[in-house]
């Protein structure tokens, strides 16, 4: 079975007109379609959409897997779509219903001001996620470092289940925080643990109620973390910690721990199954560490960090602060190829996927792409029955000769914040697939400043009638008013990502349709979307800059 990432089915491509989606479902033996989808989705931990896209538009290489998905039925789906396209029956969510869906996961945090002077370069952040998978496979985290300065924010896109993304979202920031701690603090913490005293708090989390931590694994996770800091204490180099290095070490260490925990297993059968699920599923991570004007982005996989910059004329532009680790990134392809013998060159990347299977070229977990075949077999065999029964875990990727093929090592980009850098968007690929970064920068920028730099209309030499102009203006006004529905920049962005029509304005009808898709169908039209929008304090950044000068 096949992972996971693919381009989503665009509504307009799939059908003659988006408005006809619902009649289609009703008339097209919905149970049959659903069962197909469920089958694919749950049993094979795979996204139907990839198959749809490929089976429909591609040929041979997919055949082997396509057979598994019963392509005929899927094909029927499209045929029916055309047959029933003109049925006029409609059902839409009302705007309040749409809003309650969009706002279910929204979270905002404002950095408290002290004595009226905000000492943090971060004003606060808005975050939100919109599930397409059930349950959602994306995770997000945000925390303030308490023993060092700075704030950590991250989005994690899981695949083949959410276990890995969940574990990374709980654990990664502790690994980073510990990596950043000075020697004395590490000693202090270790002594406290040793003597059973209260620990210094390391992180202050900023969590939405839906963002849970698994209680069962906390002991296991803690002991792995403790081992890590004990090693750090032993290794004491006496040098001050470099943020970039700390980030890389933390990523690699956590992935290593995930791998080790799965190999070692746990006497508790629940935990044993959990660590295996974590290791066999995968997750990308895009993490920002902000400390004063120093912004570090550590990225593993194809989530993305983007800086919103306000130009002197007030307009918005986007600066990428991460590189996607996928087949579109030539350097990444080159890296993978240099790490393996030339004989594998052709099989390494197929259909823009690693070994023809995995879209991200770097990820946490995914031991199927990291362990030797022997190790995989040994672990699966000695593992619980559930694991054994799982087709996906048993399946060994084709052309699997010189593992590991996958790494969790992040690429770290350091950026010195400038006053014109107004915000940072961290988002999983669910957003970037639907929106261009330039639009993201504009929409968020205009939302945060409350100013709408719509391109002014100029009549110029064109022939425009009063009536045409009137219609155009009414539409532009509606666009502005849509902004005021949201109190959260991330929600606003999701509204656009899901509801944008061809004019770049939120079309309620479309939004309503997209959100009322049954769980099983949603995944075909969109991916999970997780967004964090961090707003910077230009005054503090300006002041810091001046100090440094």
Site for another protein, rule CB under 8 A: 454, 456-459, 463-467, 469-470, 472-474, 476-477
Q: How far is the CB of 546 from another protein (least distance, A)?
A: 25
Q: How far is the CB of 468 from another protein (least distance, A)?
A: 8
Distance (Å, rounded) from C-alpha 452 to C-alpha 443?
Answer: 9
Q: How far is the CB of 482 from another protein (least distance, A)?
A: 15
Distance (Å, rounded) from C-alpha 61 to C-alpha 399?
Answer: 14
* Between 450 and 456, CB nearer to another protein: 456
Q: How far is the CB of 503 from another protein (least distance, A)?
A: 15
Q: How far is the CB of 116 from another protein (least distance, A)?
A: 23
Distance (Å, rounded) from C-alpha 482 to C-alpha 496?
Answer: 10
Q: How far is the CB of 497 from another protein (least distance, A)?
A: 24
Q: How far is the CB of 315 from another protein (least distance, A)?
A: 14
b/e string for 163-202 if b means 16 or more Cβ within 10 A? bbbbbbbbbbbbbbbbbbbebebbebbbeeeeeeeeeeeb
* Between 373 and 473, CB nearer to another protein: 473
* Between 146 and 473, CB nearer to another protein: 473
* Between 49 and 310, CB nearer to another protein: 310
* Between 94 and 481, CB nearer to another protein: 481
Neighbours of 265 (CB within 10 A): 17
Neighbours of 392 (CB within 10 A): 17
Distance (Å, rounded) from C-alpha 106 to C-alpha 17?
Answer: 31
Distance (Å, rounded) from C-alpha 529 to C-alpha 497?
Answer: 9
* Between 200 and 457, CB nearer to another protein: 457
96 Cβ contact partners less than 8 Å away, ≥ 6 residues apart: none
Nearest Cα neighbor of 297 from 176, 169, 446 is 176
Q: How far is the CB of 508 from another protein (least distance, A)?
A: 20
Q: How far is the CB of 469 from another protein (least distance, A)?
A: 6
125 Cβ contact partners less than 8 Å away, ≥ 6 residues apart: 108, 109, 142, 153, 206, 532, 533, 534, 535
* Between 238 and 467, CB nearer to another protein: 467
Whether the Cβ atoms of residue 431 and residue 493 lie closer than 8 Å to each other: yes
Neighbours of 511 (CB within 10 A): 26
Q: How far is the CB of 460 from another protein (least distance, A)?
A: 10
Q: How far is the CB of 314 from another protein (least distance, A)?
A: 11
- Polymer length of the chain: 549
Q: How far is the CB of 505 from another protein (least distance, A)?
A: 14
SS3 297: strand
Whether the Cβ atoms of residue 108 and residue 95 lie closer than 8 Å to each other: no
Whether the Cβ atoms of residue 24 and residue 85 lie closer than 8 Å to each other: yes
Enumerate the H helices of 159-290 as residue ranges.
Answer: 163-180, 183-194, 218-234, 243-264, 269-280
Measured in Å, how far apart are the chain's first and last C-alpha atoms? 56
Distance (Å, rounded) from C-alpha 508 to C-alpha 485?
Answer: 12
List the structure tokens of 315.
Answer: 């307009």
List the structure tokens of 84.
Answer: 């029933």
At residue 127, φ and ψ (nearest 5 deg) are: -140, 160
* Between 135 and 471, CB nearer to another protein: 471
* Between 57 and 462, CB nearer to another protein: 462
* Between 373 and 464, CB nearer to another protein: 464
Nearest Cα neighbor of 148 from 222, 253, 237, 242 is 242
User: Dmax of the chain from CA atoms?
Assistant: 83
* Between 209 and 467, CB nearer to another protein: 467
Q: How far is the CB of 521 from another protein (least distance, A)?
A: 38
Distance (Å, rounded) from C-alpha 30 to C-alpha 34?
Answer: 6
Residue 153 φ/ψ region, left for φ over 0, alpha for ψ in the -120 to 50 degree band, beta for the rest:
beta
List the structure tokens of 310.
Answer: 């306000």
Whether the Cβ atoms of residue 298 and residue 254 lie closer than 8 Å to each other: no
* Between 340 and 479, CB nearer to another protein: 479
* Between 192 and 474, CB nearer to another protein: 474
* Between 60 and 459, CB nearer to another protein: 459
Q: How far is the CB of 313 from another protein (least distance, A)?
A: 10
């Amino acid at each position: 079975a096949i992972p996971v990432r693919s381009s989503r089915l665009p509504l307009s491509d799939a059908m003659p007109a988006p408005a006809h989606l619902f009649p289609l479902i009703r008339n097209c033996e919905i149970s049959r379609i659903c069962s197909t989808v469920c089958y694919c989705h749950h049993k094979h931990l795979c996204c139907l959409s990839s198959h749809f896209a490929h089976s429909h538009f591609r040929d041979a290489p997919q055949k082997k897997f396509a057979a598994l998905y019963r392509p005929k039925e899927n094909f029927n789906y499209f045929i029916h779509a055309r047959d029933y396209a003109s049925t006029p029956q409609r059902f839409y969510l009302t705007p309040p219903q749409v809003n309650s869906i969009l706002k279910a996961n929204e979270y905002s945090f404002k950095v408290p001001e002290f004595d009226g002077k905000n000492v943090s370069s971060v004003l606060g952040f808005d975050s939100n996620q919109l599930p397409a998978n059930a349950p959602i496979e994306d995770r997000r985290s945000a925390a303030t470092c308490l023993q060092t300065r700075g704030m950590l924010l991250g989005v994690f896109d899981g695949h083949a289940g959410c276990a890995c993304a969940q574990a990374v979202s709980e654990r990664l920031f502790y690994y980073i925080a510990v990596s950043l701690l000075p020697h004395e603090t590490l000693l202090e913490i270790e002594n406290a643990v040793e003597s059973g005293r209260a620990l210094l708090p390391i992180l202050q989390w900023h969590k939405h109620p839906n963002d849970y931590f698994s209680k069962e694994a906390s002991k296991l996770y803690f002991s792995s973390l403790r081992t890590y800091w004990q090693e750090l204490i032993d290794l004491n180099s006496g040098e001050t910690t470099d943020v970039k290095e700390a980030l890389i070490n933390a990523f690699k260490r956590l992935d290593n721990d995930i791998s080790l925990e799965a190999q070692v297993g746990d006497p508790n059968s629940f935990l044993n199954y959990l660590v295996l699920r974590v290791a066999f599923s995968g997750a990308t991570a895009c993490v920002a560490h902000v400390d004063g004007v120093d912004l570090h982005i550590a990225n593993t996989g194809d989530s993305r960090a983007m800086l919103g910059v306000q130009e002197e004329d007030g307009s918005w532009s986007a600066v990428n602060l991460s590189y996607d680790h996928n087949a579109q990134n030539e350097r990444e392809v080159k890296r993978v190829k240099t790490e393996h013998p030339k004989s594998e060159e052709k099989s390494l990347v197929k259909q823009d996927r690693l070994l023809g299977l995995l879209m991200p070229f770097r990820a946490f977990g995914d031991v199927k792409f990291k362990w030797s075949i022997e190790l995989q077999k040994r672990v699966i065999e000695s593992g619980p029955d559930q694991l054994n029964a799982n087709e996906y875990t048993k399946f060994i990727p084709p052309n699997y000769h010189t593992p590991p093929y996958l790494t969790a090592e992040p690429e770290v980009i350091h950026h010195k914040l400038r006053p014109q850098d107004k915000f940072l968007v961290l988002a999983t690929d669910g957003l970037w697939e639907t929106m261009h970064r330039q639009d993201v920068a504009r929409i968020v920028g205009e939302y945060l400043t409350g100013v709408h730099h719509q391109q002014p209309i100029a009549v110029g030499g064109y022939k425009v009638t009063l009536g045409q102009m009137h219609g155009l203006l009414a539409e532009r006004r509606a666009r502005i008013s849509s902004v005021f529905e949201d109190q959260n920049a991330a929600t606003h962005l999701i509204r656009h990502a899901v509801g944008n029509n061809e004019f770049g304005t939120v079309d309620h009808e479309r939004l309503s349709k997209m959100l009322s898709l049954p769980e099983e169908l949603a995944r075909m039209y969109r991916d999970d979307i997780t967004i964090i929008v961090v707003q910077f304090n230009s005054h503090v950044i300006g002041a810091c800059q001046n100090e440094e000068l």
